[in-house]
Amino acid sequence: MFILKQGKTKFMYFGSTASQAIAKGALVALSSGRLIPAANDTDPSLIVGVIRHAITSASAEYATAGTPVEVEVPIQKNVVWTADVTTDAALTNTDQGEYMDLTTDDTGDAVDTSVSTLDTVQCVGFISATKGLFVLNIGPDYGLNA
């Protein structure tokens, strides 16, 4: 789960994808103009921000494509987020400054410290082996931080 720690964001609404569950606090991207959870292979330039509320099979957003869904979007560079780290590769103090990707379970809600193919996030702080502080390397300026 990604939770805002520091920086400026705003809330924007994007259309949901029918039959697409997304966990609260997951990074989300646009595909054909609709929200999907960001996967480990999602081009970071397509990621728009962090979804505020979960979409489950019981949600109206799940049943109907295009239903507006609230997303927290960073509006300045270097907004810091607290995020979970996969238990497969523990975060360490020496990971600070390193770029990493999202986990391979493709839910958009955790970081994998062992992969840096797309450099979706940069670690800027160590909290524990399973939690850290990250800056998102996303949106139209993707790659300018790397």
135 alpha-carbon distance from chain centroid: 10
Distance of alpha carbon 8 from alpha carbon 98, whole angstroms: 23
Q: In the chain, at which residue ranges do the beta strands (DSSP E only) sit? A: 2-6, 9-15, 27-31, 34-37, 47-51, 68-74, 80-85, 99-102, 110-112, 121-128, 131-136
Q: Which residues pair with 82 in a beta bridge?
A: 3, 133
Q: What is the pLDDT of residues 82-97, one digit of tens each?
A: 999 987 788 999 999 9
Both tokens of residue 15? Answer: 């259309």
Quick one: pLDDT at residue 138?
84
Q: What's the pLDDT score for residue 104?
A: 83
Residue among 51, 14, 12 at smallest CA distance from 31: 14
For the record, the structure tokens of 45 come out as 């330039």
List beta partners, residue 68.
15
Phi, psi (deg, nearest 5) at residue 61: -65, -30
**pLDDT score for 141:** 66
pLDDT tens digits for the chain (146 residues)? 999 999 999 999 999 999 999 999 999 999 999 999 999 999 999 999 999 999 999 988 888 889 999 999 999 889 999 999 987 788 999 999 999 999 888 888 999 998 888 999 999 999 999 999 999 998 766 665 54
Task: Report yes or no: 24 and 51 within 8 Å, Cβ to Cβ.
Answer: yes
Single pTM value for the model = 0.90
What ranges do the domains of the chain cover?
Answer: 2-74, 80-141
- Name the CA dihedral angle for 34, 38, 44, 50, rounded to a multiple of 10 degrees: 80
**Beta strands at 27-31 and 34-37: parallel, antiparallel or unpaired:** antiparallel
